[in-house]
Amino acid sequence: MRPLPPLTITGGRLLTGSGEPCSGTIRCEGDRIVAVGDVTAQDGDRTYDAKGKLVMPGLIDLGVFEIDKPAFHFGGVTRAALMPDQNPPLDYPARVRFAASYGKPDFWVHPIAAATKGMEGNELPELGMMQQAGARAVSSGRKWIGDSGVMLRVLQYAAMLGLPFIAHAEDAGLAGDAVATDGEIATRLGLSSAPAEAEALAVTRDIALAEIAGAHLHIRQVTTAGALDIVRAAKDRGARVTCGVTPAHFMLSDIAVNGFLTFARLSPPLRAESDRQAVLAALSDGTIDVIASGHDPRGPEDKRLPFADAAPGMAGAETLLPLTLGLVRDGVIDLPRACELLCANPAAILGVPAGKLEAGLEADIAIVDADKPWIVSSDRMAAQAGNTPFDKQPVQGRAIALFKGGMEIED
């Protein structure tokens, strides 16, 4: 295949990941950015006129459960870190290698290796070989490793390899089979529930073990005020800890499960309104490092069930960008912070050459109309299933063009 001519994007407001949006041009050769700012297109360049729209890095979705390219492309996502909870799990080098090649050439998949064989929390797999096969992190997936000895050994192994550990923060002894958070809503509906402190206990132990091991711990979702306070204190003392959240936990409280709405059946479960407000404060003050979609499309066979029997998860790739831009409009964060949460910080955690618009980095670029209105519809989503708790909600913000490695993606 003949190489594409260089690409020059003109007329846009550049959100580079290193400051406020500013007018400028970006030029790419091959799959890399070569110049940003006061740049002139050269003879033979392909040109794209952004017409005053936002030009930003392609989003990097840290911790998805399904590779669903049409949904990711709709949402402006050019890379995703795939959780190990697959069938079969990503606990063997060949499976990791296959996952790493799955989306190319128009989408990059970064596999996350299973922390234990079969995701069973006991025996360690060949993490070094899985790293060589393309794994960018290690994770226990949707589960919490209850054996502290096993968890410490995994963290030490990950630290030796320079891989971050992506943790699920729910103490399994407390959470058990709970489907809701203790409180008025769970009591009214008669749902099995667990105290919010199950998250704080898991975060406390995992941070302590990570500090012993010298490992980088990334807690995929921190959703309660108590756990956020623990993360904040750990960061203040210099611990290598980062954390994320999904839009569901800054947009919704447990009130959303009223009527036994299974699209709001999530893991971790939705929390009290006070916890939702704590998440917003943590996004504002920098405690939270990443906003991810948690993309997990589930069909009717998984969701049209009694609430307690329904599978947790939501299709989130298409709504990740507009719901984050909603935080900007509400004054919770500004645009540079949004770019950090969606692009630069996930790239830094995974160690990939993307997430910013800088010379030398890969030309993963989204053209975004931040004001474009649209209505979320579970019946019309590009995802494999439309299990979104935001069905029929009006939102603003769409990726109107997307480039992966300098190649325009056309779905």
pLDDT digits (tens, 9 = 90+) for 235-276: 999 999 999 999 999 999 999 999 999 999 999 999 999 999
Query: Measured between alpha carbons, how far is 405 from 382 in angstroms, rounded to an integer?
Result: 22
Per-residue pLDDT of 46-64, as tens digits, reads 999 999 999 999 999 999 9
Q: Work out the angle at residue 389's Cα, subtended by the Cα atoms of residues 246 and 60, and round it to the nearest 5 degrees.
A: 30
Residue 354, classified by CB atoms within 10 Å of its CB into exposed (0-12), middle (13-18) or buried (19+), is buried
Q: Quick check: 66 pLDDT over 60?
A: yes
Query: Measured between alpha carbons, how far is 68 from 56 in angstroms, rounded to an integer?
Result: 22
Count the domains in the chain.
1
Answer whether residue 307 is part of any domain: yes
Answer whether residue 135 is part of any domain: yes
Per-residue pLDDT of 158-168, as tens digits, reads 999 999 999 99
CA dist list (Å): 331 to 326, 335, 338 = 9, 10, 11
Per-residue pLDDT of 4-35, as tens digits, reads 899 999 999 999 998 899 999 999 999 999 99
Place of tokens 């299973």: 114
Q: Report helix, strand or coil for 345.
A: helix
Query: Measured between alpha carbons, how far is 112 from 82 in angstroms, rounded to an integer?
Result: 6
Angle between helices 197-213 and 148-161 (to 10 degrees): 50
Quick one: tokens of 232? 């904040």
Q: Quick check: 288 pLDDT over 60?
A: yes
Taking only Cα atoms into account, the Rg of the chain, rounded to an integer number of angstroms, comes to: 21
Cβ atoms of 346 and 290 closer than 8 Å: yes
Q: Quick check: 233 pLDDT over 60?
A: yes
User: Cα dihedral sign for 392, 397, 398, 404?
Assistant: negative
Answer whether residue 1 is part of any domain: no
Q: What is the pLDDT of residue 299?
A: 87
Query: Measured between alpha carbons, how far is 270 from 265 in angstroms, rounded to an integer?
Result: 8
Answer whether residue 265 is part of any domain: yes
Answer whether residue 30 is part of any domain: no
Query: Measured between alpha carbons, how far is 339 from 356 in angstroms, rounded to an integer?
Result: 8
Answer whether residue 291 is part of any domain: yes
Answer whether residue 11 is part of any domain: no
Cβ atoms of 109 and 86 closer than 8 Å: no
Rounded average pLDDT over 199-204: 98
For the chain, counts of helices (H) and of strands (E)? 14, 18
Domain that holds residue 202: 59-354+372-394
Query: Alpha helix (H) ranges present in 142-285?
Result: 148-161, 172-175, 184-189, 197-213, 225-236, 247-251, 273-285
- DSSP H or E run through 68: none
Task: Let me know how long the chain is.
Answer: 411
Cβ atoms of 326 and 26 closer than 8 Å: no
Rounded average pLDDT over 39-43: 88
- Cis omega (within 30 of 0) on the bond before 268? yes
Answer whether residue 152 is part of any domain: yes
What is the layout of strands, in order, in the sheet containing 217-219? 59-64, 77-82, 108-114, 137-139, 165-167, 217-219, 241-245, 290-291
Residues 6+ apart with CB under 8 A from 252: 264, 270, 276, 389
Q: What is the pLDDT of residue 7?
A: 96
Query: Measured between alpha carbons, how far is 108 from 284 in angstroms, rounded to an integer?
Result: 29
Q: What is the pLDDT of residue 2?
A: 67
Query: Measured between alpha carbons, how far is 377 from 384 in angstroms, rounded to an integer?
Result: 13
Query: Which of 45-59, 124-138, 374-388 is predicted least confidently?
Result: 374-388
Which CATH number does the domain housing residue 215 bear?
3.20.20.140
